[in-house]
Amino acid sequence: MKKEIKEKNIKFFVTNADALADKYNLRGKINNIIAWYMLKMLGVKGEDSVKFKENIKEMYRDKGENIVNANLNVLDESIDYLREFAFNIFSETKDQEKKRDINSEMLHRRGNMLKVSDFLDHSDGTFEGGTSASDKRKVSNKVPKWCKENCIECNQCAFICPHAIIKPFSITEEELNNSLITKEDTIPSLGENNKGFYLGINTDNCTGCGLCTKVCPGKNGEKALIMEESSNKTDIICDYLNNNIKNETPFSKFTVKGIGFNKPVFEFPGACAGCGETVYLRTLTELYGKEIVIANATGCSSIYGASLPCTPYKIPWISSLFEDNAEFGLGIHTAYKTARDRVKEIMIETKDEVDKNVKDIFKTWIDNIEDSNITLEVKNQLEKANIRTDLKELIDYIPSRKVWIVGGDGWAYDIGFGGLDHVLRTNENIKILVLDTEVYSNTGGQTSKSTRVGAVAEFASTGKLKPKKDLFQIGMSIPNVYVASISAGANMNQTIKAFKEANEHNGPSLIIAYSPCIAHGIKGGLSNSVEEQKLLVESGYNILMRYNPINKELSIDSKEPNFQIYETVFAKEMRYKNLESINPKLYEKLYIENMNNAKNRYEYYHNLSKNKEVNKEEKTISKKEYL
Amino acid sequence: MKKEIKEKNIKFFVTNADALADKYNLRGKINNIIAWYMLKMLGVKGEDSVKFKENIKEMYRDKGENIVNANLNVLDESIDYLREFAFNIFSETKDQEKKRDINSEMLHRRGNMLKVSDFLDHSDGTFEGGTSASDKRKVSNKVPKWCKENCIECNQCAFICPHAIIKPFSITEEELNNSLITKEDTIPSLGENNKGFYLGINTDNCTGCGLCTKVCPGKNGEKALIMEESSNKTDIICDYLNNNIKNETPFSKFTVKGIGFNKPVFEFPGACAGCGETVYLRTLTELYGKEIVIANATGCSSIYGASLPCTPYKIPWISSLFEDNAEFGLGIHTAYKTARDRVKEIMIETKDEVDKNVKDIFKTWIDNIEDSNITLEVKNQLEKANIRTDLKELIDYIPSRKVWIVGGDGWAYDIGFGGLDHVLRTNENIKILVLDTEVYSNTGGQTSKSTRVGAVAEFASTGKLKPKKDLFQIGMSIPNVYVASISAGANMNQTIKAFKEANEHNGPSLIIAYSPCIAHGIKGGLSNSVEEQKLLVESGYNILMRYNPINKELSIDSKEPNFQIYETVFAKEMRYKNLESINPKLYEKLYIENMNNAKNRYEYYHNLSKNKEVNKEEKTISKKEYL
């Protein structure tokens, strides 16, 4: 490439469009600047240039004169922000070549030079986990800085961060003595004597979405997190603490305050800045990381889950096709069950051949076969014990492990729905998480059966006419299925509660997780998505619910909606708002339809939550019940 | 084959096992006789022979001593019924070879001798329709005989006949004069002056199921149809009348009395004797044959629908895969709509170029685009008219034609469910017929999600533990979907009504048609399936319902169930009864569970039928509504 650039005398420019946009309070909005460069490079001038500017005036007209002018000013100033690169800059990377390991080669974009033989260690299809940590992307020049004097240790920032770069640490005096920081860098750890609280920030992997500062309640009106120029001194501290301290806390892991102290097993996913999906995967993995396997459908979650060689996961995670992920997860579950049945058989067969204490361990395992802590402990004990070879070979199956099936709405509502329905009806102890963005996000915004009336999307360019499919109702109609509808930004505690109940339920569980997405076009960008999620719940657009199939109780966790503010939803999200300029009459009509659907939906569930007898009583009989 | 038989000195026997079974009142039950021959051929004797007989005693013990003895006697007498064939018998067929057309070659089992070039006329994948008529199977030696003196012309026999061999004819005096029968062979045609009523019977294609005699009300206790030795003189008459008379009737085609007078376009399917599915396809095709296209999923219906070269259909019928039939039908529908949109465009483009009367015809078509009679008439008129070539090429798309998507429960509830859900949510004018046997019939009786608690099936050998999936409820939860639950043997008129409403509804329709099947093991065989269907409805096992999405009205067409007789269902069907001997305790438990599900199901729908407000009001907006 360098050779070609030289030979063809190609000019190479860089620009700091971000800085220019910032100057005019258009943070992150660099699209028009880049388009303008393109036009200039193509030699467009005169009247065509004018047309482009006219178009901008038209496009931003209803956002007010200031926004229009700012967008025009950045164009005029843009050429000043170009810097030409001299050719010799390219030779500098030459000495940086590293040892030839495939991850590194791919990270350095030399993947296509690898030989088949380089992959010998991966012939079973598995790859190392947690490799995202080595992909220091440094994509944002503004990153959060912790102002400890304003921190109340609520840990909402760590909870909401889409890229898992923020981590709370609770450090003993002894640990502090050996660390890169001193007691002065910390504040007293709440609820504990003599421990220091420190908020670690991996700025290298920050995308600058700003969600952390938005959720920060701060103290006396001052935020404990502010966005400023990047400096990665905190990365080293954060990595050190992560690897070297115990990080114990008196707070339950099932609280927003406590969950972040767990060792992360899902870090630095390469999702969009402000992605609304990853918070759910972080919650799931921080609660149950070592006890689960994830089967992942094609979609955004498979891209940020494994863009080889980078994966944010340090736990077993397997990618499947779009159309069969539920069946795929069921297969993993079944294989796991079968292996554990064999473990049980071997234990019974050999119980009189083994030492007395090993026999007791067998009994403990059989009596607590689904308990993740006890079964893990049994594994540790049996690793050292004298047991039959075939049992030794199955030792990885001794810990209890649940399969979580994960995918987007394109998978769950549409292409993989047949399988999802099938899995929910098996009455197996299997879990499903739907990351619902109400649109095919990864493939460019096509309408799915989760998209609501009035939303503009691919295949619904003049607003969708069909209502959203009600997956909650479908789940609830299937015997012994736990169902939850959650929205992390609207209610973090309810999100944690739902994951806990779903994982503990002895049967299939379905979590429908509302996930804000760039495709929604939220005004001001995804940094406003927490506020937006609250609005969606307050207005009745979303209802936070949990359905327990054991006692057939439907709990509505959100307050009675205020439909008076429903219009704000449409005004604030471009997926809806866009229709107004195309067809104002239809916009009005579909807005009302969308709201009526929400009203009827609320009424329906509200009635169900009061009247436990409305549901049909059809149950699945467990094998235990008659054996 | 003949050469090999000769060279290897293979002995070849035939037997009239039917006659032997009849002698001991075991009509049709030839399985033990054949098994006995097999044992003898394998050289089994002495103690092993005794074991087989002991086994028979055990098997039929609870059916009484008479049945046991009859089954033993047939064995003892069976060898006398064997006749050895001399080799020269095989040479007789030599001269019967016919003109080399592929249908005939296949029928004569010489299909594997055909060359690729023989299929040149079928390179587009289409085959001639109605070819089942040439497959005179003559499989039953007892066939119905019409006793006209006892006939009340109710035509229930014609309606219920699974193989469409019975047809009512209403014949004018003039037609009679030229026909193969005289006025004396007929009875006065009800509701018409001087016309004769004749019941045509194609005995060659009768399977001897006897359903016709079972449904015949007869007169003064005497049946108008009795089963007797076959003689195919009535076939010739039936074929003649079918081809040569107008067969007009004053009775509406939407009545059991009137429907059979239509020219059949679905005749002689090669289904099992007594098949409970074909009655629905006969009803559908007799009502709307020329106005529909059928997209058929893999299953029984694709086997009896097209075992090349035989197909019972004389209308467009297309077979798809198991997993995608709904999507396939949607594709046909979409292609058809697109072609018709183009027709409309051409008409508008050329309206001022054509003759005044042609212009009027265009207008008539555009104004009545969905009316099947008017659009068919327009096609006939335009065939002779002077119109643009591209319109002429699209002339087959001028008649309105609906797509009916057909398949079994294995398709609809399981493997094709994702697509079925998708199609129902399109709000397109498309129709779905589910032939629900509550089991994978064609592949040998595997449990489907339609199978109920307690049924013994493959993959549920000790009784199914999960409840039947409620497809009616699912259909009803989707905006603008018409849903009907029917059972032809229980209520013929409701079946016709449901097809009429489903076809007329402007939107997706779903008919769930309960279909008795050999896999149910109904006591006494499928000739008792009409009585059984009535029992299933009376006991509350099945509910006959129609849901109209326009006014959200659910009509329950069956009477309030009598759950007191629910036990009879289990006693009468071997799919349930079988479990009693395997595990009586579980049988009792699952019986109660099955009944409770039925009770709760009835209560649920009964409440809905009273309270029209329970359903969520979510609608799909039609394009018309805003255009």
Q: Do A618 and B586 touch (CB under 8 A)?
A: no
The answer to whether A622 faces chain B, any CB pair under 8 Å, is yes
Closest chain B CA to residue A480 = B466
Q: What is the DSSP letter of B621?
A: P
Q: Do B589 and A626 touch (CB under 8 A)?
A: yes
The answer to whether A422 faces chain B, any CB pair under 8 Å, is yes
Question: Does residue B89 have a pLDDT over 90?
Answer: no
pLDDT at A232: 65
Closest chain A CA to residue B613 = A604
pLDDT at B58: 87
CB A436 within 8 A of CB A448: no
CA distance B167 to B161: 9
> In chain B, count of helices (H) and strands (E)?
26, 15
Residue-wise pLDDT tens digits, B307-329: 888 999 999 999 988 999 999 99
CA distance B295 to B315: 11
Residue-wise pLDDT tens digits, A376-395: 999 999 999 999 999 999 99
In this structure, are strands A142-146 and A225-229 parallel, antiparallel, or unpaired? antiparallel
Residue-wise pLDDT tens digits, A29-76: 899 999 999 888 888 888 888 889 999 998 888 788 888 999 999 999
| 3-state SS class at A314 | coil
Question: Does residue B118 have a pLDDT over 50?
Answer: yes
A22: buried, middle or exposed (CB in 10 Å: 19+, 13-18, 0-12)?
Answer: middle
Of A414, A477, A596, the CB nearest to B422: A414
| 3-state SS class at B342 | helix
**Confidence band of B623 (pLDDT split at 50, 70, 90):** low
Q: What is the dihedral of CA B303, B309, B311, B317, to 10 degrees?
A: 90
| pTM for this predicted structure | 0.85
What structural domains and CATH numbers belong to chain B?
2-88 (3.40.920.10), 143-269 (3.30.70.20), 341-397 (no CATH), 402-626 (3.40.50.970)
The answer to whether B617 faces chain A, any CB pair under 8 Å, is yes
Please list, in sequence order, all residues whose beta carbon lies within 8 angstroms of the beta carbon of residue B51, skipping any fewer than 6 positions away: none
CA torsion sign for B560, B562, B566, B568 is: negative
Question: Does residue A457 have a pLDDT over 80?
Answer: yes
The answer to whether A614 faces chain B, any CB pair under 8 Å, is yes
The answer to whether B414 faces chain A, any CB pair under 8 Å, is yes
Q: Do A620 and B467 touch (CB under 8 A)?
A: yes
Chain A contact probe: residue of B323, B411, B424, B466 with most A CBs at under 10 A: B466
CA separation, residue B269 to residues A149, A270, B305 (Å):
84, 59, 6
pLDDT at B120: 85
CA distance A621 to A64: 63
CB A115 within 8 A of CB A137: no
A588: buried, middle or exposed (CB in 10 Å: 19+, 13-18, 0-12)?
Answer: middle
Strands (E), B549-592: 553-556
pLDDT at A480: 95
Q: Please report, as a single letter, which amino acid is at residue A159.
A: F
- Side-chain half-sphere of A205: how many Cα atoms within 13 Å? 28
pLDDT at A505: 96
Closest chain A CA to residue B597 = A618
B298: buried, middle or exposed (CB in 10 Å: 19+, 13-18, 0-12)?
Answer: buried
CA separation, residue B224 to residues A85, B147, B279, B359, B590 (Å):
100, 5, 21, 55, 42
CB A621 within 8 A of CB B453: yes
Residues of B in contact with A412 (CB under 8 A): none
pLDDT at B98: 42
Chain A contact probe: residue of B447, B621, B625, B627 with most A CBs at under 10 A: B621
Residue-wise pLDDT tens digits, B252-302: 999 999 999 999 999 999 999 999 999 999 999 999 998 999 999 999 999
Residue A110 to chain B, least CA–CA distance (Å):
42
Residue-wise pLDDT tens digits, A330-349: 999 999 999 999 999 999 99
Phi, psi (degrees; rounded to nearest 5) at A380: -60, -40
pLDDT at B95: 44
Q: Which of A4-13, A447-456, B36-45, B221-230 has the lowest mean pLDDT?
A: A4-13
Chain B contact probe: residue of A621, A624, A625 with most B CBs at under 10 A: A621
CB B376 within 8 A of CB B290: yes
CA distance A323 to A416: 4
CA distance B509 to B471: 12
Residues of A in contact with B477 (CB under 8 A): 470, 473-474, 477
CA torsion sign for A115, A120, A121, A122 is: positive
- What average pLDDT does the structure give for chain B? 91
The residue that leads in pLDDT, A516 or B625, is A516
CB B398 within 8 A of CB B368: no
Residue with tokens 């990047």, as numbered in its chain = A230
Q: Do B465 and A425 touch (CB under 8 A)?
A: no
Residue-wise pLDDT tens digits, B434-472: 999 999 999 999 999 999 999 999 999 889 999 999 999
CB A306 within 8 A of CB A122: no
Residue with tokens 């006329």, as numbered in its chain = B121
**Confidence band of B97 (pLDDT split at 50, 70, 90):** very low
**Angle separating helix axes B584-610 and B574-582, nearest 10 degrees:** 140
Residue-wise pLDDT tens digits, A546-585: 999 999 999 999 999 999 999 999 999 999 999 998 899 9
The beta-carbon contacts of B51-59 under 8 Å, at least 24 apart in sequence, are: B56/B32
CA torsion sign for A338, A339, A345, A347 is: negative
The answer to whether B367 faces chain A, any CB pair under 8 Å, is no
pLDDT at B622: 64
Residues of B in contact with A418 (CB under 8 A): 414-419, 421
| 3-state SS class at B617 | coil
SS3 content of chain B, % helix, strand, coil (to 5): 50, 15, 40
**Confidence band of B96 (pLDDT split at 50, 70, 90):** very low
**Confidence band of A98 (pLDDT split at 50, 70, 90):** very low
Closest chain B CA to residue A420 = B418
Q: Within the 191-250 window of chain B, which residues sit less than 8 Å (CB to CB) from chain A? A: none
CA distance B522 to B194: 44
**What are A243's two structure tokens?**
């690897």
3-state secondary structure A487-521: CCCCCHHHHHHHHHHHHHCCCCEEEEEECCCHHHC
Residue-wise pLDDT tens digits, B488-522: 999 999 999 999 999 999 999 999 999 999 999 99
Residue B467 to chain A, least CA–CA distance (Å):
6
Question: Does residue B87 have a pLDDT over 70?
Answer: no
Q: Which of A213-217, A533-537, B109-113, B413-417 has the lowest mean pLDDT?
A: B109-113
Residue contacts between A and B (CB atoms, under 8 Å):
108
Residue B17 to chain A, least CA–CA distance (Å):
44
CA distance B134 to B310: 8
pLDDT at B90: 54
CA separation, residue A47 to residues A72, A76, A133, A450 (Å):
16, 15, 49, 44
For residue A303, give the nearest of A444, A401, A416, A430 by alpha carbon: A444
CB A530 within 8 A of CB A563: no
CA separation, residue B292 to residues B158, B281, B286, B402, B496 (Å):
22, 12, 11, 5, 16
The residue that leads in pLDDT, A103 or B429, is B429
**Confidence band of A623 (pLDDT split at 50, 70, 90):** low
Average pLDDT for A236-255: 94
CA torsion sign for A267, A268, A274, A276 is: negative
**What are A414's two structure tokens?**
């549409």
**What are A346's two structure tokens?**
């071997």
**What are B489's two structure tokens?**
């043997």
Average pLDDT for B152-163: 97
Convert A543-580 to b/e letters by CB count within 10 Å (16 or more is b): bbbbbebeeeebebbbeebebeebeebbebbebbbbbb
- What average pLDDT does the structure give for chain A? 91
pLDDT at B228: 92
pLDDT at B17: 92
